[in-house]
Amino acid sequence: MILRNQRGQFIKGNQSGKRLWSLEDKIKMSEKIHKIAIQKGFGKWMKGKRHSNETKEKLRKAHAGENAYFYGKHLSEEAKKKISEAKKKNPTRYWLGKKRPDLSGEKCNLWNGGTNTVKNHIRKCSEYKNWRKRIFERDNYTCVFCNAKNGSGKSVYLEADHYPTEFMVLIKKFDINSYKEAVDCSALWDINNGRTLCRNCHKKTKKGNPRIYNQKCLTFGVKHLKVSVLN
């Protein structure tokens, strides 16, 4: 029987009047069901066990010869021709790791007018990942502001920051308008223009006045910093 209050809302709790299952009762019932399942051949009764050679031979014969699914069956010439034509158009694993011209650019169903910027291409390229790794190795995977690092049960997300010359300043300064121009620009991949920051410290440099924050960190003896006056 389901009870409702004066507003017509359902009343939570045991509404049937029957005894509720305690945790101990649930554990006992679970063990009982498990024993019955093992006796009847269900559950994980084969865990850690192996079939004998005799059993393997029986299984092999049960799935071979006349018992096999395709025993005595053959594909029609029409079916063979369809499979052949399909494989010629799209060979198995041929396009793995390759660019599909018929599904790229404007032909892609996710095309949004070419809104992806050069900045996004640069941040996803292998050169950027290598530069980021070299920055981390130089700073011993430690934030240069708060000395936070992974270890001892602590997880810290580290980011590589272009400093003292910012990333977008370099893009504008060298007039980088394509991925190739970015790769050829050595200033973008100079590890002396980079530092390791944890995500929290990186956010602080982007909010308020970065010059004051960087100057304050330099006062406390932060390494790999070159303070330049920001206009």
Encode pLDDT of 144-186 as tens digits.
988 888 887 788 899 999 888 888 888 888 888 888 888 888 8
- 49 phi and psi angles, rounded to 5 deg: -110, 165
Q: What's the predicted TM-score (pTM) here?
A: 0.44
Compute the average pLDDT of residues 9-20: 56
Tell me which of 47-56, 123-132, 135-144 is least confident: 47-56
Of residues 34 and 196, more confidently modeled: 196
SS3 string, the chain, reads: CCCECCCCCECCCCCCCCCCCCHHHHHHHHHHHHHHHHHCCCCCCCCCCCCCHHHHHHHHHHCCHHHCCCCCCCCCHHHHHHHHHHHHHCCCCCCCCCCCHHHCHHHCCCCCCCCCCHHHHHHHCHHHHHHHHHHHHHCCCCCCCCCCCCECCECCCEEEEECCCCHHHHHHHCCCCCHHHHHHCHHHHCHHHEEEEEHHHHHHHHCCCHHHHHHHHHHCCCCCCCCCCCC
pLDDT at 39: 72
Phi/psi for 195 (5° steps) reads: -155, 155
Confidence of residue 71 (pLDDT cuts 50, 70, 90): confident
